[in-house]
């Protein structure tokens, strides 16, 4: 077991992700339909409280060091639920989550409410394009909240996510992506793997 008392570094986090098979290298089909040489499945990392807690503590430290004082942490289901809960615990504030309704729209359910003027940090396991983060921000801002930042374990955009607020990420991951009809991994004959949890209809 990895000790949570070890000094946190992005290098340690990367090694832990690799050891937990949460960071994979190969040939993958993403939920967007694009192909990539890298796949991230943070659920395998976040199943370990002894790993999740120090990672969230480091995010909390960075947020507080930046002078941000959120009233609430909000994570989009499913990926943001566990890290959002732990980040909220580290910050000493409540943590809730958004989820998609039957039409696919991001929304608040389960009796969760937002008070106008509340300052919020959005928690993600991985920022892949920034799209879902912006969806969550739109919902929260529509309810009168102020989004202070997004905090994630991994920024898969390499810092290129189109966000209008600060992006705190513990590990930037540069991943190549390719259109399926112009993929060098396909041309090399490397079998493509779909390791995620979304159904195949997501690609239709």
**Binding-site positions for 5-phospho-alpha-D-ribose 1-diphosphate:** 100, 124-132
Relative to beta strand 146-155, strand 167-172 is parallel
Question: Which residues belong to the annotated binding site?
Answer: 100, 124-132, 156
Burial profile 46-79: b = 16 or more Cβ within 10 angstroms, e = fewer: bebeebbebbbbbbbebbeeeebebbbbbbbeeb
Contacts of 60 (CB under 8 A, 6+ apart): 87, 90, 91
Using the 8-state DSSP alphabet, how is residue 47 labeled? T
CA distance linking residue 94 with residue 46, whole number of Å: 19
Q: Which residues are annotated as a binding site for orotate?
A: 128, 156
Query: What is the rounded CA–CA span in Å between residue 124 and residue 34?
Result: 21
Can you tell me which residue has the tokens 């009796």?
A: 111
- Distance CA(192)–CA(8), nearest Å, equals 34
Give all strands (DSSP E) within 77-183, no chain letters.
95-100, 106-107, 119-127, 146-155, 167-172, 177-178
Distance CA 70, CA 94 (A): 10
């Amino acid at each position: 077991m990895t000790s949570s008392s070890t000094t946190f570094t992005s290098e340690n986090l990367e090694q832990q992700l690799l050891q937990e098979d949460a960071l994979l290298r190969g040939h993958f089909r993403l939920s967007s339909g694009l192909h990539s040489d890298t796949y991230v499945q943070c659920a395998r990392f976040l199943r370990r409280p002894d790993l999740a807690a120090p990672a969230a503590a480091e995010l909390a430290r960075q947020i507080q060091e930046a002078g941000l004082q959120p009233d609430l942490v909000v994570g989009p289901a499913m990926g943001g639920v566990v890290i959002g809960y732990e980040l909220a615990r580290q910050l000493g504030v409540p943590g809730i989550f958004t989820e998609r309704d039957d039409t696919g729209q991001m929304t608040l359910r389960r009796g969760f409410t937002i008070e106008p003027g509340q300052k919020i940090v959005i928690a993600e396991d991985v920022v892949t394009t920034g799209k879902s983060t912006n969806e969550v921000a739109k919902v929260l801002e529509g309810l009168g909240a102020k989004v202070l930042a997004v905090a994630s374990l991994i920024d898969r955009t390499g810092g290129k996510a189109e966000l209008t607020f600060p992006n705190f990420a513990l590990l930037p991951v540069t991943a190549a992506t390719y259109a399926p009809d112009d993929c060098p991994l396909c041309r090399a004959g490397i079998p493509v793997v779909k390791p995620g949890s979304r159904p195949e209809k997501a690609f239709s």
